[in-house]
């Protein structure tokens, strides 16, 4: 194809063909949203599309889809494509999601009733070629090969979503032995299994190509059919009617009347706001990063940059700048440095005012007057600052010896409250989204402003960027807080009274960290390494040879061929060998190989966790995790580097890992405190169900008390199995648990599960009414809200796509309860922190993991700390049932369990 950049290039994609390829290329179990919506086909299709946009650089683009399996071809031949299997259930709904991605990318979709996508592509390719365009067609259907020419190339995916053959006319002839103009003739002879078009028995590519070369075309072969000798000649004559049928059905229609022409589909780039919304819903973080790296969004998007009158302040000039410009009006603050593992190093500070005045200074180059002035300004609550993601800045300032107070708005937290389902809150993106401005300087018309009074231009670029970030943060705060204020002030109250104060508490916890017993961790790592090897050897002994326990292909051969075990779910590469499938298979068969495989996976995961913890121990002998406030859409905190929320506690071996977290020098014990059944208590409060409230207020074991009501037996007569079933019900209802899901969870029939749910709702009718009402109300409002008013917007509640609508309904059930639990533990942390400051205690709060807080107890303070924690956690929010707090203490985290 020509390299002439001026020649228009049309990219045509066969939507269904590529979506199916993607579906079978990527394991569905590895691609789904948090609520269970499969996304493997969408992910694979979008990945291929981004690659093609990057590599082909089309000026025009369109995607064609089949409207249904019926077309003029099925009218001619009822069994056309009849051999194709039924559409896999997880694939259903994904085409509509792909169309949403295409809409966000501003790529048009074309369909034609009674015709296939191939025909739409053929028509557009012919029109484009005739008008002087170059054409690139991406399709997994070989019928497209007949369109290839000097100006038309086919991209044919052959493996996965990244291995693509570039089929030019020469490549097609080399592979299939005939030129594109005769590919249809050859296909008629050899048939096409995917279309259920049978060819001539005994005739393959070589024989068909030989005949075409000898007689010129299929017409020539038919005219000379009596001259073809031997069994293949007899076979051809016997199946001539099928060959002619194939030739008729293989013809691509090139003259359809469509809603658009090639010149109508010029691609101007993608819609950044719409991509954010769709990719957030699909949880496509990696693809979003690739899209941003490779392709430009719709331009012009940014209406302007920023006015900036900036200066790099020399030593001795900082105090004067602060006196002149940093008074009672908010000042934007941005910092550079190194942050993480509970520490920070400050290398630069940028400040900016609403009037455009900005400055940068080096904290290491201040004189005594500047140092005092900056310290006093930062620590003064009455001198307001606006920061984007304040927690790292807090750590960096503290590392320098400064305290940061007076943060009126953290724009990252504000953006999170405004749109909690986003996956990133980058300042550049937020400036474009809310301000329609880029992080660049707008030169005034008279160009009289000197940007920098400082060193050379290369050095000035980094300093200017930091000043721009400070200025953008300041402007962004006004717009986002205005948006948050539209709900009557609840979101602003959460920002100002919960999230922003909590970031200060979390920064202190990150800085403290928790002591780790590295010798014990090393012993544990050796233990799990030995267990991994032992499980591997045991599996080898049972099978009778060595094999790779991590190879799905080898496992499939051993399990389903050699050992003839029942087949698991069918996937493209055979039968799945994921953990859930193997666990279910082991429950059915008890096969010893499965026992060793499962053991191997369990201990390998534990070893990996211990390895990560060992690498995370800092020079002070403590592990400093990072708490994230803007990751979970429900409001829950998350933990990274390392993730302390994924340390297993349900098994004895998992609890052994918690023993590595110990009390540090100068303290006596670790103490843990957590809420008992907080989500069910919130359910009782929100639903107002009298029977559920009574069960909590009875003081008896909650699950036993509810089981007693459901099964109509005395409290002391509730069996362990009855309690187990009702416990699953209690916790599952808030997550949209279905009768099918309950049956799987409890290993009972769907009928028994449905009867159990009916009996439960008969007893706790208020719960049923609440669950129904919350979805209906969310559909009207477009969002759900927690007890503090924290909103989660769910536009898909009104989606035409059933899968997306049901996914949003499950979110609507879960968000108020889980989000309210997040609200309560955050309030509890703030209350405990404040109470500790007001007391004479030197004990300190170290960790928050889900509904649990971990403290380091100073000598002699155990009883006082427990009383303080019980009081502040128990009084965090007034529910209609008690907030019960469980407390334990010990020399290590596991020993402090209760």
pLDDT in tens, 143-202: 888 899 888 999 988 765 567 888 889 988 888 898 888 888 888 888 887 777 777 888
Q: Which of 164-168, 265-269, 431-435, 783-787 has the highest mean pLDDT?
A: 783-787
55-70 residue pLDDT tens: 888 989 999 998 777 7
What DSSP character marks residue 326? Answer: -
What DSSP character marks residue 147? Answer: G
pLDDT at residue 362 greater than cutoff 60? yes
Report the candidate in 594, 574, 576 with the shortest Cα–Cα distance to residue 585: 594
- CA 398, CA 390: separation in Å to the nearest integer? 12
Report the candidate in 6, 17, 20, 10 with the shortest Cα–Cα distance to residue 107: 10
- Decide if 166 contacts 147 (C-beta within 8 A): no
Q: What pLDDT sits at residue 627?
A: 95
Region for residue 283 given its phi and psi (left: phi exceeds 0; alpha: psi -120 to 50; beta: otherwise): left
584 or 121, which is more confident: 121
- CA 470, CA 44: separation in Å to the nearest integer? 39
- CA 629, CA 416: separation in Å to the nearest integer? 9
Report the candidate in 121, 123, 152 with the shortest Cα–Cα distance to residue 135: 152
> Which part of the chain is CATH 3.40.50.1010?
9-170+251-264
CATH ID of 679-819, from 3.10.580.10, 3.90.650.10, 1.10.150.20, 3.30.300.90: 1.10.150.20
pLDDT at residue 253 greater than cutoff 90? no
What percent of the chain has pLDDT above 90?
A: 42
Where does the pLDDT of residue 764 fall: very low under 50, low under 70, confident under 90, or very high at 90 and above? confident
Query: Could you tell me the two tokens for 55?
Result: 């590599």
Stretch among 230-239, 326-335, 445-454, 462-471 having the lowest mean pLDDT: 445-454
- CA 609, CA 361: separation in Å to the nearest integer? 42
Where does the pLDDT of residue 296 fall: very low under 50, low under 70, confident under 90, or very high at 90 and above? low
> Which part of the chain is CATH 1.20.1060.10?
515-623
Report the candidate in 315, 314, 311, 279 with the shortest Cα–Cα distance to residue 297: 279
Q: What pLDDT sits at residue 790?
A: 94
**Which phi and psi (to 5°) does residue 624 adopt?**
-115, 95
Q: What pLDDT sits at residue 447?
A: 27
What is the fold of 515-623? Taq DNA Polymerase; Chain T, domain 4 (1.20.1060)
> What is the mean predicted confidence (pLDDT) over 847-867?
96
> Which part of the chain is CATH 1.10.150.20?
679-819
Q: Taking each helix axis from N to C terminus, what angle separates 750-763 and 702-711, rounded to the nearest 10 degrees? A: 100
Report the candidate in 838, 513, 862, 496 with the shortest Cα–Cα distance to residue 672: 862
3-state SS class at 336: strand
pLDDT at residue 78 greater than cutoff 80? no
Where does the pLDDT of residue 299 fall: very low under 50, low under 70, confident under 90, or very high at 90 and above? very low
Task: Find where tokens 């010798």 sit.
Answer: 519
Q: Which of 145-159, 217-231, 358-372 has the highest mean pLDDT?
A: 358-372
Q: In sequence order, what are the beta bridge partners of 553?
A: none
Where does the pLDDT of residue 28 fall: very low under 50, low under 70, confident under 90, or very high at 90 and above? confident
Query: Could you tell me the two tokens for 808?
Result: 């949003």
Where does the pLDDT of residue 212 fall: very low under 50, low under 70, confident under 90, or very high at 90 and above? confident
- Decide if 97 contacts 807 (C-beta within 8 A): no
pLDDT at residue 704 greater than cutoff 80? yes
Q: What element of type H or E holds 431?
A: none
369-402 residue pLDDT tens: 999 999 999 999 999 999 999 999 999 999 999 9
Q: Which of 443-457, 665-679, 700-714 has the highest mean pLDDT?
A: 665-679
> What is the mean predicted confidence (pLDDT) over 471-499?
93
Full 3-state SS string of 829-875: HHHHHHHHHHCCCCCEEEEEECCEEEEEECCCCHHHHHHHHHHHHHC
> Which part of the chain is CATH 3.30.420.10?
304-495
What DSSP character marks residue 297? Answer: B
| Count of other CB atoms within 10 angstroms of residue 114 | 14
507-523 residue pLDDT tens: 999 999 999 999 999 99
Backbone CA torsion sign across 115, 117, 123, 124: positive
What is the fold of 9-170+251-264? Rossmann fold (3.40.50)
Q: What's the first-to-final CA gap in the chain, in angstroms?
A: 71
CATH ID of 304-495, from 3.40.50.300, 3.30.420.10, 3.30.230.10, 3.40.50.20: 3.30.420.10
Report the candidate in 325, 549, 306 with the shortest Cα–Cα distance to residue 444: 306
Report the candidate in 336, 319, 434, 424 with the shortest Cα–Cα distance to residue 378: 319
């Amino acid at each position: 194809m020509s390299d002439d950049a001026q020649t228009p290039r049309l990219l045509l994609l066969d939507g269904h063909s590529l979506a199916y390829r993607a579906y079978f290329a990527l394991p569905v179990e590895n691609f789904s949203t948090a609520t269970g919506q499969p996304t493997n086909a969408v992910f694979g299709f979008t990945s291929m599309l981004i690659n093609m946009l990057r590599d082909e650089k089309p000026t025009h683009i369109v995607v064609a889809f089949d409207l249904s399996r019926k077309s003029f071809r099925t009218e001619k031949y009822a069994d056309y494509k009849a051999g194709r299997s039924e559409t896999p259930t997880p694939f259903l709904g994904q085409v509509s999601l792909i169309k949403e991605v295409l809409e966000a990318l501003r790529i048009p979709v074309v369909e034609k009733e009674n015709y296939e996508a191939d025909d739409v592509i053929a028509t557009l390719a012919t029109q484009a070629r005739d008008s002087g365009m170059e054409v690139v067609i991406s399709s997994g259907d070989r019928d497209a090969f007949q369109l290839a020419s000097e100006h038309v190339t086919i991209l044919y995916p052959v493996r996965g979503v990244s291995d693509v053959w570039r089929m030019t006319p020469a490549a097609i002839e080399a592979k299939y032995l005939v030129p594109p103009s005769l590919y249809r003739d050859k296909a008629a002879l050899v048939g096409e299994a995917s279309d259920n078009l049978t060819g001539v028995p005994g005739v393959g590519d070589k024989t068909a190509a030989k005949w075409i070369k000898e007689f010129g075309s299929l017409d020539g072969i038919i005219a000379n059919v009596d001259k073809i000798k031997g069994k293949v000649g007899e076979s051809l004559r016997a199946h001539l009617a099928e060959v002619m049928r194939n030739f008729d059905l293989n013809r691509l229609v090139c003259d359809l009347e469509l809603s658009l022409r090639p010149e109508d589909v010029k691609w101007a780039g993608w819609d950044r706001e719409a991509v954010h919304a769709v990719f957030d819903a699909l949880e496509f973080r990696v693809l979003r990063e690739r899209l941003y790296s490779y392709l430009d969004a719709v331009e012009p998007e940014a209406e302007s940059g920023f006015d900036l009158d900036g200066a790099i302040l020399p030593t001795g000039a900082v105090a004067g700048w602060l006196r002149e410009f940093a008074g009672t009006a908010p000042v934007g603050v941005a910092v550079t440095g190194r942050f993480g593992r509970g520490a920070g190093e400050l290398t630069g500070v940028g400040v900016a005012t609403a009037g455009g005045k900005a400055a940068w200074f080096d904290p290491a180059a201040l004189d005594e007057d500047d140092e005092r002035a900056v310290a006093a300004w930062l620590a003064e609550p009455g001198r307001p600052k606006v920061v984007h993601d304040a927690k790292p800045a807090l750590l960096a300032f503290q590392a320098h010896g400064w305290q940061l107070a007076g943060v009126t708005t953290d724009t990252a937290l504000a953006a999170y409250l405004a749109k909690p389902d986003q996956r990133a809150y980058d300042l550049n993106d937020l400036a474009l989204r809310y301000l329609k401005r880029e992080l660049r300087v707008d030169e005034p018309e008279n160009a009289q402003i000197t940007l920098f009074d400082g060193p050379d231009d290369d050095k000035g670029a980094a300093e200017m960027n930091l000043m721009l970030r400070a200025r953008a943060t300041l402007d962004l705060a006004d717009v986002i807080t205005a948006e948050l204020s539209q709900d009557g002030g609840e979101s602003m109250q959460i920002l100002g009274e919960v999230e922003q104060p909590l970031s200060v508490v979390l920064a202190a916890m990150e800085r403290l960290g928790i002591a780790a017993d590295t010798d014990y961790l090393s012993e544990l790592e050796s233990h799990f390494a030995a267990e991994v090897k032992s499980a591997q050897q045991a599996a080898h002994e049972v099978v009778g040879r060595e094999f790779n326990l991590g190879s799905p292909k080898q496992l499939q051969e051993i399990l389903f061929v050699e050992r003839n075990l029942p087949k698991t779910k069918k996937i493209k590469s055979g039968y799945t060998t994921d953990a859930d499938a193997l666990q279910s298979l082991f429950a059915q068969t008890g096969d010893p190989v499965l026992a060793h495989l499962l053991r191997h996976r369990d201990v390998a995961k534990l070893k990996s966790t211990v390895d990560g913890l060992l690498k995370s121990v800092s020079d002070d002998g403590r592990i400093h995790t990072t708490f994230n406030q803007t990751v979970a859409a429900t409001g829950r905190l998350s933990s990274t580097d390392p993730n302390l929320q994924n340390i297993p506690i349900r098994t004895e071996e998992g609890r052994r890992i918690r023993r590595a977290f110990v009390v540090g020098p100068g303290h006596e014990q670790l103490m843990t405190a957590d809420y008992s059944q907080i989500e069910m208590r919130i359910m009782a409060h929100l639903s107002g169900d009298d029977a559920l409230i009574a069960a909590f207020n009875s003081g008896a074991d909650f699950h036993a008390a509810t089981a007693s009501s459901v099964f109509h037996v005395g409290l002391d007569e509730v069996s362990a199995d009855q309690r187990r079933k009702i416990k699953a019900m209690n916790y599952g209802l808030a997550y949209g648990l279905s009768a099918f899901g309950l049956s799987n969870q409890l290993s009972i029939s769907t009928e028994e599960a449905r009867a159990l749910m009916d009996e439960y709702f008969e007893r706790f009718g208020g719960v049923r009414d609440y669950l129904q009402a919350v979805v209906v109300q969310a559909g009207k409002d477009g969002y759900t809200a927690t007890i503090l008013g924290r909103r989660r917007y769910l536009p898909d509640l009104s989606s035409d796509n059933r899968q997306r609508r049901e996914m949003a309904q499950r979110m609507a059930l879960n968000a108020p309860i889980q989000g309210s639990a997040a609200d309560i533990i955050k309030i509890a942390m703030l209350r405990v922190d404040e109470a500790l400051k007001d007391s004479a205690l030197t004990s300190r709060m170290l960790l928050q993991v889900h509904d649990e807080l971990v403290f380091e107890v100073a000598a002699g303070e155990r009883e006082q700390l427990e009383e303080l924690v019980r009081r502040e956690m128990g009084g965090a929010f007034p529910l209609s049932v008690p907030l019960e707090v469980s407390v334990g203490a010990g020399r290590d985290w596991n020993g402090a369990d209760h």
